[in-house]
Amino acid sequence: MTDRPHSTRFINGRIYRDAGGRILADTLVTQGDAIHFVGSRNEAPAAETTVDLRGAVVMPGLTDAHIHLFGLATERLQVALDPASVKSVAALLDCVSSTAQRSPQGRWIRGVGFDENGLPEHRYPTREELDATAPDQPLVIRRFCGHTAIVNSAALRVLGIDEEVSDPVGGSFGRDPAGRLNGIVKESAADAVFRKMPQVDRALVANSLRSTIADAMRLGLTAAVEAAVGFTSGFDEEHATWELLRSDRSRLRLGFMYRLDPREALARKLAPHRSPDWQTNSLKFFADGIVGARTAAVTTAFHDVGGNGFFMRDEEELEHAIVEAHLGGWQVAVHAVGDRAISRVIGAFERAQKVKPWSDARHRIEHYTCPPMGGLPRMKQVGAIVVSQPSFLSVMHRTTVEAFGPEAESKYPARSVLDARVPYVSSSDAPTGEFSPWVGMANALDRGADKGKPLGSSEALSRRQAVRSYMHGGAYAMRQETWRGVLEPGMAADLIAVDRDAFDASVDLKSVMVLMTMVRGAIEHDVIGSQASAAAGSMH
């Protein structure tokens, strides 16, 4: 029981201590789950195992501060209808049709990843087209954003939705020009559909989650925040599935945001809990919709289709929930995309801080896409942070330009956030954004230039700022920056080795390959492992 913890010595590395951008050491020694030594090889203490890094670059592990691991895991169990998998509406229908032919009558077909922006036709399949390809099986196609879905007639039948249905608060059932349901369901109407559908087998999802987490570590993540437990399959189902993983001692450090009102959390006997492994101290709320569906609550009408979007719930009630969560000691995370929604949420943070000051609350606004006038100084004042998704600049380039016209340049602020001294934290929001943090970093620099004109070049981050937003940003959002995210003695042994220097201005960040990932002192991903030698006693 009193065994000394296992120690590993990494030699011949190019070691960055943090995102400061200077190589300071060639050797690093870990002991147990902590870093023991960083410096030069001739001063390094002995260790049980030695790994020759052969010049690989070492840096602190990355954090994805807003990801939907559960969503990624369930997508892997479904029919991929993203533009990379099906390249046209016709190909999509073919894919659905062949799935339908292989599936028993009555079994649900679940398609995911649909994005009309990536298809040459730029349109949704019609209800009639879907009925022709899957006449006997209920079919639901989830748009990649998760806020919109398309269903066929069999699904409407099974769900008990008929032509008489009226729109719920905060959502809509689409209709064709003749007034007949067209199968498109948005926001709370889509939510109701997802909730009423039968669940995918829990053990199957848990297994898929395990492999999704392994992939996250392969990409260089050592921590991640599940951005809304309850967003994909409902809170209780998702919570129960995560509980199956808890005993795995999954190495990835996890944080969870519960998509619950404080009262619902209380009813489930859930209280904010901070932990280095399995942290559950945040509640997630949705203030408004998204740009893609033009449901974000904006002041200026959308450039292409008009309209000002809407709030997902009553504004007063939202504010009440935020204040109540704050008083309960929860970190509050609010999805807010449109400037109207963002301003309203900041107002709720201000009210909460007035009722009970909490200088280090670190409440979060997720997305912060359309910055309201004067919003950042108010964010600074209440100690709130911006959690952004730089890969949206590429993934949603087209949508952003169409929705905002010339004003698109001012969306997805980044540099101005840092200039206002508001913490700027990067994340993927996968599967909506790109899973890889390296793609996110690249887009933080190029502002989506791979899809056309860069969106707001003046908002581009420097390379160091971009790396730091994944290296330090997420740790800060999780309140873990005092013990991880920097490679120095006593800090957590959460680190990665990569094949090229991310701080070198000539390196394309998208091409960075992660060779090794260590979390809590254990190597979880390793393509240089063949060089590791269990060389106890032979240190030189």
Interacting residues with Zn ion (CB under 5 A): 227, 429
Least Å from the CB of residue 408 to Zn ion = 21
Query: Residues near 106 by Cβ (< 8 Å), separated by ≥ 6?
Result: 136, 137, 138
C-beta closer to Zn ion: residue 367 or 378: 367
C-beta closer to Zn ion: residue 75 or 429: 429
Contact present, 516 and 222 (Cβ < 8 Å): no
Output the CA torsion sign for 114, 120, 126, 131. negative
Contact present, 25 and 67 (Cβ < 8 Å): no
Contact present, 232 and 146 (Cβ < 8 Å): yes
From CA 417, how far away is CA 387, in angstroms rounded? 10
C-beta closer to Zn ion: residue 125 or 230: 230
Work out the number of other CB atoms within 10 angstroms of the CB of residue 447. Answer: 25
The Cα-based distances of 256 to 219, 278, 511 in angstroms read 20, 8, 30
Burial class (CB within 10 angstroms; exposed 0-12, middle 13-18, buried 19+) of 328: middle
Least Å from the CB of residue 271 to Zn ion = 24
Least Å from the CB of residue 225 to Zn ion = 10
Least Å from the CB of residue 432 to Zn ion = 6
C-beta closer to Zn ion: residue 115 or 429: 429
From CA 30, how far away is CA 490, in angstroms rounded? 9
Least Å from the CB of residue 57 to Zn ion = 30
C-beta closer to Zn ion: residue 16 or 144: 144
From CA 17, how far away is CA 24, in angstroms rounded? 7
C-beta closer to Zn ion: residue 219 or 227: 227
Least Å from the CB of residue 360 to Zn ion = 24
Least Å from the CB of residue 433 to Zn ion = 8
C-beta closer to Zn ion: residue 187 or 524: 187
Query: Residues near 482 by Cβ (< 8 Å), separated by ≥ 6?
Result: none
Least Å from the CB of residue 506 to Zn ion = 33
Least Å from the CB of residue 207 to Zn ion = 23
Least Å from the CB of residue 337 to Zn ion = 11
From CA 324, how far away is CA 204, in angstroms rounded? 36
**Which is nearest to 224 in space by CA: 277, 281, 283, 271?**
277
Query: Residues near 149 by Cβ (< 8 Å), separated by ≥ 6?
Result: 140, 141, 142, 143, 184, 185, 190, 193, 194
Helices and strands (DSSP H and E) totals, the chain: 17, 24
Least Å from the CB of residue 25 to Zn ion = 37
Residues paired with 175 in a beta bridge: 181
C-beta closer to Zn ion: residue 31 or 78: 78
> Cα-flanking dihedrals φ and ψ of residue 393, to 5°?
-60, -30
C-beta closer to Zn ion: residue 38 or 370: 370
Helix/strand/coil for 455: coil
C-beta closer to Zn ion: residue 137 or 428: 428
From CA 390, how far away is CA 1, in angstroms rounded? 46
C-beta closer to Zn ion: residue 139 or 337: 337
Contact present, 17 and 467 (Cβ < 8 Å): no
**Which is nearest to 415 in space by CA: 459, 365, 370, 472?**
459
Residues paired with 256 in a beta bridge: 226
Least Å from the CB of residue 66 to Zn ion = 6
C-beta closer to Zn ion: residue 170 or 454: 170
Least Å from the CB of residue 393 to Zn ion = 16
C-beta closer to Zn ion: residue 39 or 234: 234
Query: Residues near 100 by Cβ (< 8 Å), separated by ≥ 6?
Result: 109, 133, 134, 135, 136, 137, 139
